[in-house]
Structure 1
């Protein structure tokens, strides 16, 4: 019976480790994607042309105001993109943008409007990973079958 309890406790510990690793990997992937766009991308200036009201996840909260940007690519084509929900912008404000010339509508990075999600994901993941390893070691040290 004690073995089943140990396995059950270890499953929760392993779940914490899994969540931590997943969050860390997501943070690293965001960082790598942004770094790749900065290296291969073309830098230009984007201008806020309006705001889009998006529904928030909670029903009782006000809609999120997402800034809409336009910029011109190297062929002088107008490209429209959405900012992030945490971007604080005013109308006609300009900001630098790096974009992938092959896919400017989907692969872009607004360096001045970066919320540092990559750091948040990485460090929250590191916290869960550390907590999971701590509890895993604690539960396995208590178990001594001999």
Structure 2
């Protein structure tokens, strides 16, 4: 169903978070979709298909919104900065203890979600596992790109 919807239809449904919130392959949330449409000048009447989602991920999420990810993938950034940006984008990835997390709080535990405490999000991938899996992340993102 999602792949047959237009970007505009997805955006309209995301306005009602009880209907639709994080969507597609990259769990794109309403604010990110709105910003990506503006930044990339996307036609909202085009389909929200895999190609559109890939474009949003490749050209907006990792290059504009979370630049530490692309910097790391291109060999110009630190893994720690990439881990932190990844955790800010994907709630299932954890942050280091002591990092600033949502609402200006400080992470009290290693590996908690950037969005911990909202009652919805829990990290499943700890920061200690991410560097050892960094080559896997690079391969996955390279295949997408």
Smaller-chain TM-score bracket: under 0.3
**TM-score when normalising by structure 2:** 0.24
* The structure with more helix, counted as a fraction of residues: 2
TM-score, length of structure 1 as denominator length: 0.24
Identify the structure with bigger relative contact order (alpha carbons < 8 Å, sequence gap 6+). 1
Whichever structure has more strand as a proportion of its residues is 1
